[in-house]
Every structure is written in structure tokens, then in C-alpha cells.
Amino acid sequence: MEYVDHDLVRVWKSPTGGRSLDDLMVVLYRGDGVEVLSRNLTSTEVRLGPGRDGWVRGDLKTTTKAPLALAFIDVGQGDACLMTTPSGHRVLVDGGENKLAARYLASRFWDQTVAGEDVHFDAIVVTHGDADHFDGLSTLVIDAAADKRPRKGIRVTAARVFHNGLVKRGSSLADREQLGPAVDEGGTLFAPVLDDPRAAKDANRPFERWNRALDELAQRAPTSISRLDDQTAGAFDFLGDVKVEVLGPTIHRLKDGTLGLPLLAEEGSSSLSAAQTINGHSIVLRITYGNVTTLLTGDLNAGSEADLLKRGVEVRADVLKVPHHGSDDVSRPFIDAIQPLISIISAGDEDTRRD
């Protein structure tokens, strides 16, 4: 296998193909894999798959070094990103709220699903406990495994599940109690963090379903479940030369020795908010491979963005998954510090009732 080393190339049905769309097979982008069958100064013959041979005009420039691939999955309103490393490791960050992530993955890995094989992820990361980021993971684990239709059913396993330690309880509770019994330390309220979300017996419905999904993953294959914060080191060492730094959330050790995350208020208000708290303590990942860096920010809000900058954390990145779907929680100083070349905004109001 070789990998395209041009920004984009057109693959034609014949070496003398015209310039109409009827003659065009596909457009390949930098990093796409091909098998080169022959090459000369005027054309390069490539194989895209069984029975899919085509030609590129001129001598196609390729490299044998596999790329780091990040697929930002269209899940409508929500987030989901699949990272595939050059060595073939797979890390799924969030999964949206509906079945669209499961549909994408079932189609992408159809050769394995058709063969009756499980699709394995080296890690699943839940950046935070909002349904539009993780309820689709329950659909992937539970519902998609029972779907027998080609390219729609998929049975997954995971070696690791990472989360931020916060679990939402029922909405009937006061905001200060929705993430568990708050701890008052010096006038600041802290939400307790859990190493395993299943330890919360009064979780809300999306978390109840996710807990069932975690049980299902554990039954299929050994799965470790652990929390990530800014003090975490070595969690992603299994990725080899792909470096992953955990920039947030910022954990606090309380006087009684337990760990907590401060409850946060709405912007410009002193009223504590469970929603702001769980968003502001999103897992933030800075991924570096070669000389390219990507920043995944979950639903980080302006206050937490300012805290990262105040702490002097290096946030510069070439590719940015814009916080909180591009809402007004994104601050200009934060964007200025990142200086992204490419910004990804995952948002939408599409109807999720898709077959």
C-alpha cells in the first residue's frame, strides 16, 4: 500500500480519459491509500480495490508512510470523531446523540461486519456527559449490535473507555446536586468525580443506558474504564509516535483527600449551573503527529478556556475542533492562542429519524 502525496488527484477510467465527469472515477486526497500498478511520465495506473483500476495523469507522487487520519463524523447536532493512527490503532472520541455515528462506522467497516467480525477500538473517549456527545455510543454498542441489515449492523469492542468523571443525576435536583453531593471547601463547591460512572446509582437516563453499554462491552472483551484529567500521564502511550496530551479538565484534590471539579456558573452570573459545569470540564486532547497538531475541545466554555490560558497551557494547533459547536462560548483570546489553520464546527438541526 502506498499513500497519495498530493493535495488532491483525479482518477480516470482510462489512461486517455477525457475531462468530463463521466470519465472520472474518484478524487483522492493526500493520505488516501492506493496500490500502484504501473507508472510512467504520462500516467500512473492505480488499484483502488477489487475490480477498481484507474489512471492518474502524470507520475503520481506517493509515500510509504501512512497518515494519521481523523474523520469528523456528521451526526447532526453533536460531536463524533474517529482517529486512526498510522499503525492502525482506532480511537473514537464521542458518538453524537443518534444512530448516525453507528451507521457511519457500520458502513466504513462493512468488510468486517459482513464477515461476522467484531470491530475493535483501542479507546473510546467520552469528553463529557451531554447526550449529544455520548448517547450515540450506547446506540453503537447496544442497538447496532442487534441490527442484522448489511452496512447497518456492527458489533464493537473497546480496550479502554475514558471519561471526565462527572455523572448527571435527575434534572429534578437542584443544579448544585445534579452532579452528585457537592463538597464545600473554602466557599467553593466541588462536584465529586467517579473513576467508573456505573458507581452512580441515581444517574439520569442517558447515563443509565451508557452504564448498560459499558456492561455489554465488558462482557464482549476486557475493557478498562478510567478517568482523564490534566494530571493524567501515559494514558495514550499505546499509540506510539502519535502524542496525545490531556489538557483538561483541571482536577482539584480536596482536604479530605478526595478529588473534585469546581461547580461553574453561567457566564456573567453567580448562579451555579450543572450544564456549564459538565461542559467546562470537558476532556481536552492535544494530538501531535509529525509537525501537525490537532486540538479536540468537547464543549469547553469561555471560563474554562480562560483558565487554560491563565495556566499557560500550550494550546496552539493546526486543526481545531471548535468548542461547543461554535457557540458564543468560544472566546477570541482562545482562538488567537490556538491560531488554527483549519477549524471544524460540528453542529446541525437535521431530522435524526433516518433508516
Return the H-helix or E-strand segment holding 49. strand 43-49
Q: What integer pLDDT is reported at residue 328 of this predicted model?
A: 85
Residue 349: per-residue pLDDT: 64
205: amino acid identity, one letter:
R
Distances (CA, A) of 239 to 94, 289, 327: 18, 10, 32
Average confidence score pLDDT of the chain: 93
> Lowest-confidence range among 48-52, 120-124, 274-278?
48-52
Burial class (CB in 10 A: 0-12, 13-18, 19+), 227: buried
**Res. 355 pLDDT band, cuts 50 70 90:** very low
What are 224's three cell numbers?
478498562
pLDDT tens, position by position, 277-302:
999 999 999 999 999 999 999 999 99
Burial 188-208 (b: 16+ CB within 10 A, else e): ebbbbbbebbbebeebbebbe
Could you report the per-residue pLDDT of 87-117, keeping only the tens digit for each?
Answer: 999 999 999 999 999 999 998 898 899 889 9
199 contact partners, CB below 8 Å, separation of at least 6 = none
* pTM, 2 dp: 0.88
